[in-house]
Amino acid sequence: MSPDLLARLNHLRMVINKPVYINSGYRCKEENQRVGGVSGSYHLLGMAVDIHVQDFLLYDLLLYAHEIGFNGIGFYEKKNFLHLDIRPGPKHTWKGNK
């Protein structure tokens, strides 16, 4: 896992003062295919996590993640988790269907 990613996750945890639960972190190619991940996923590089926080609004969590500097933020409301990554370049936010 990227030290930068872990530092940002820790910063998020400290700011919201709640445990951050990681649903998915680094994935090998086989696991990424099994869970329906996209080819080229930042999970394959140790630069992405899917997280949830109990008793915390997902949209509020998205706002904090954006302020902390995650460049990729996927909002998966149906399954109540955020995808966070540290991709290079400009910020990219999307709403997922999972």
Strand partners, 67: none
What pLDDT does residue 97 have?
A: 80
Token pair in block for residue 29: 């190619």
What pLDDT does residue 82 have?
A: 97
Q: Which long-range contacts does 41-47 make (Cβ < 8 Å, 24+ apart)?
A: 42/72, 42/85, 42/86, 42/87, 45/2, 46/1, 46/2, 46/5, 47/2, 47/5, 47/85, 47/86, 47/87
Percent of the chain beyond pLDDT 90? Answer: 96
What pLDDT does residue 79 have?
A: 92
What pLDDT does residue 76 have?
A: 95
CATH architecture of 3-95: 2-Layer Sandwich (3.30)
Give pTM, 2 decimals.
Answer: 0.94
What is the Cα Rg of the chain in Å? 12
One-letter identity of residue 45: L
Residues of the chain with pLDDT under 50: none
| CA 20 – CA 23 distance, rounded (Å) | 10
71-93 pLDDT, tens digit each: 999 999 999 999 999 999 999 99
